[in-house]
A and B are shown apart, each in its own frame.
Chain A
Amino acid sequence: MSEEKKEFWRWKEYNWHDESKDWKGADIITAGADVGSVSSQAVIMVDGELYAYSNMRTGSDSPDSARNAMDWALEDTGLSLDDIHYVVGTGYGRVNVPFANRAITEIACHARGGNYMYGPSVRTILDMGGQDCKAIRCDQRGKVTNFLMNDKCAAGTGRGMEVFADLLSVSIEEVGDMSLEVDEEPPPVSSTCVVFAKSEASSLLRSGWSKKMVLAAYCSAMAHRIMTLLERIDVEKDFAITGGIAKNVGVVTRLEKELGLSSLKSKYDTQIAGALGGALFAKALIEKQRKGS
């Protein structure tokens, strides 16, 4: 059904690998596969350094998604799954990564991955995925000290943003920029429930609000909502944002303003944090295994 419907909400899918690196002769090759309800990523690390990754839409079948993401990350590298010493599966579909040696929660993986991507100074990580939102506190080693995750309510998840983008016929990639093109910041939409916010948005449009104003009001409401969640785990700097929401400059800017903190930026794609953390856990686990034997 949704295949026929034009998808307004597609992040770019792609793969990448480091052509300057030669994995042959590496001591430890590990991988992480993060199967989310909306998108999946696979990350390959060679001796603890990022080597390759992929980012794609999750299909309807989790075991296929994990395999597809992994194959795509491996593409053109000369590596095959058999060369990988240890694989960690994570994400909503982590039990469906048939080739994983162990499953680790996305919370722990995001903290570890965030520590790699943003450096050991990061203490607070916000991750907003397709159908969930996580707030994580970690220490300098990337170990979790406090966390919460919301996957019950669509507001404050990528899905909530998608519904709005769809309502306004705007592609998800444009939402952020468009929301900032307002002369004056409008008041936020009053309801955080996506269903009620949608009705409210329709009324606002009818009363003459532009699409940009409505987007601004919704991004503002979302930023405020995220703030409430973050307050529960006590925000400490440095602060970083991972997941799809990090690409929404409309929410990020407003959130940074409310927090009074800038979020660290990374040269890596923010959506790979979970899989990257998984690959790092994999390295630690295989090292432990080797020491034991």
Chain B
Amino acid sequence: MKANYGYMDGSGEFFISIDTDLCIECDHHGCVDACPVGLFEIITDDYDDEVAAVKGDHRKKVKYDCGPCKPVTNRPPLPCMVACTPGAISHSW
């Protein structure tokens, strides 16, 4: 399942996508500690799978929360994506 957390508003589309089929394969869940803002948490989803998700109160602020990791120029690889060994995480912006 592809879980897309985030939103669309007048200024654009801002979604962090987690492919839960890939996420299930991971045991270390490095994304949780890698994110400087602490956006991620591990949940038991509706189908009883243990997977990463963007924390509820952050879903409406992903554009702002992710700001520090996304400078206008010279953008480094995102820490969450680097930590995600199964390659389950992607960003729409």
List the interface of chain A (C-beta within 8 A of B): 104-105, 107-108, 143-153, 155-156, 191-193, 196, 225, 228-229, 232-233, 281
Contact = CB atoms under 8 A, between A and B. Distances in A.
A152 B9 contact: yes
Contact of A150 (B2, B8, B45): B8
A147 B2 contact: yes
A149 B4 CA distance: 7
A155 B10 contact: yes
A192 B7 CA distance: 13
Interface residues of B, number: 19
B8 A228 contact: yes
A143 B47 contact: yes
A147 B8 contact: no
A17 B17 CA distance: 40
A193 B2 contact: no
B46 interface: yes
Interface in B1-56: 1-10, 13, 15, 45-47
Given A108-B46, A151-B60, A146 B6 contact: no
Nearest to B62: A152
B10 A229 contact: no
A147 B45 CA distance: 13
Given A143-B47, A145-B1, A191 B13 contact: no
A232 B10 contact: no
Nearest to A156: B8
Contact of A146 (B2, B8, B59, B61): B2
Nearest to A153: B9
Contacts of A104: 46
A229 B8 contact: yes
Nearest to B61: A152
B46 A151 contact: no
Contacts of A146: 1-2, 4
B74 interface: no
B92 interface: yes
A148 B4 contact: yes
Q: Which of A150, A151, A156, A192 has the most CB of B within 10 A?
A: A150
A275 to B, nearest CB: 15
